[in-house]
Amino acid sequence: MLKSILICVSAAIIATKASEVMVDSRQNASDRFFPGDFWFGTSTAAYQIEGAWNLEGKGPSIWDEFTHSHPEKIVDHGNGDVATNSYEFYLDDVKAVKNLGMDFYRISIAWSRILPTGDIANINEKGIEYYNKLINAIIGHKLEPMVTMYHWDLPQDLQKFGGLTNSIFISYFEAYANLLYDRFGDRVKYWITFNEPSVFCTTGYGSDKHAPAVNAHGVGEYLCAHNVLKAHAVAYRLYRSFYYEQYKGQVGITLCSQFFYSDSNDMHAVDRAMQFSLGWFANPIFSLAGNYPDVMITRIANNSIGEGRSWSRLPSFTDKWIETIRGSADFLGLNYYTSRYVEVNPEPKGLYPSYERDLNLKMVIKPEWKPSASDWLYSVPKGVGDILRWIKEEYNNPEVFITENGWSDHGELDDNDRIAYLHDHLEQILDVVLNDESNLKGYTAWSIIDNFEWAQGYAEKFGLYSVNMSSPRRERTAKKSAKFMATVASTHRIPEIN
């Protein structure tokens, strides 16, 4: 449930506004195809698939520490020690992506595999070698690598001084980013600095649900976010100053958001939800004002005063930082999974103080929405179209990649529900593309293989391929949805389903 409230709390528009959006009904089925330059890909993240948690010089990450010292916090007491062992079987994953006729493969790099303590003073060349092999295999299969620098697995040693809540993190991240550009920049043209900061800041620093389980609610998540935004901008500027001319790549950030609706057309509630989720990170980077959304600044300051403070729990940026962060992305990566209706809470809700209390909205799930295996994930395809339109309006039509979208079940090979979910979401996305309602460049399915789903362990499956977890060889087997996505990627059309 936490995921729906704290994690991926995101955007919205009111129901009436969304329904005004025109879908061009003149397009008949044969005209309905994605443009030739629209990209399809699939995604994974290092901790969820690599395993080899302590092999060949890798240092521990906060997820190694969390799953080892608190197995009870993972539904099936699982961890990423071996996972799908992509450290050994990475070629299987690359081939699977290739078999689907995809254009790109989104991976992430485990920081502590190449810098075991997180510090540039100690480089693990074995780790560099692994990513060289992986990136070369991706390119060798005529796929484009899209690389996330930080997908939640902070080197454990950096947590000793507060991890992302300490502003020294910015310097560590800059040195790490510099190493990545230097060693892989000749081949990697799409960089994503952070994956879903709203999720890891709220769950890791604002609660104890995810690593590093700091639970400094009401303060920790805002400090984390503040340093993420600065670190992102510094890494972006570094690329532009020292690498762009030679490599001509792009640097973006991946944000996660639901779309929000209101039964009572409460625009303020909808906007508040949207700003606290997507706007929290997108406003400083993509808006002209280049700061946190006004509604966050005001509400958190007021709550802080009410709590007896003379300062706001939401840190503020100097003008110089606003300038550095504003415009610091070549594209917006969007992870869309689901949506919510919102209602204003009559009474304050959530821990005191907390992000949830600052937002103070009730999240409503409609009974007609189809549930998945995850308690936060319901199929709301309309939301993906509405959020793309919202982004266009709010941020002056930035370049967007959908960097994740997917469905969980219990591992069926005939995964018809996943196919229905993908089908319905792709139809909405295609409407947006055909009506020119977003500068959308590509779509990424989460995930190519079943993997370690964080606090849900191996209980919930998101893969287009299943993995035999009881065999050391971890054989991958295509599900029915793999065939569906292969058809989409190779024909650029969405096959009909029953």
Give the residue numbers annotated as catalytic, written as ranges.
196, 404
Could you list the residues that contact ligand GAL (CB under 6 A)?
Answer: 45, 48, 195-196, 199, 256, 335, 404, 446, 453-454, 462
Query: By the 8 A CB rule, do 92 and 105 touch?
Result: no
What CA–CA distance (Å, rounded) separates 479 from 468? 13
Closest contact distance (angstroms) between CB of 464 and ligand GAL is: 13
- Locus of tokens 């009401």: 218
Nearer Cβ to ligand GAL (159/408): 408
Closest contact distance (angstroms) between CB of 36 and ligand GAL is: 29
Nearer Cβ to ligand GAL (7/13): 7
Closest contact distance (angstroms) between CB of 241 and ligand GAL is: 29
Which is it for strands 259-261 and 331-335: parallel, antiparallel or unpaired?
A: unpaired
Select the residue whose beta carbon is closest to ligand GAL and give its number.
45
Nearer Cβ to ligand GAL (14/445): 445
Closest contact distance (angstroms) between CB of 312 and ligand GAL is: 28
Nearer Cβ to ligand GAL (153/271): 153
Nearer Cβ to ligand GAL (102/219): 102
Closest contact distance (angstroms) between CB of 337 and ligand GAL is: 7
Nearer Cβ to ligand GAL (46/270): 46
Closest contact distance (angstroms) between CB of 291 and ligand GAL is: 26
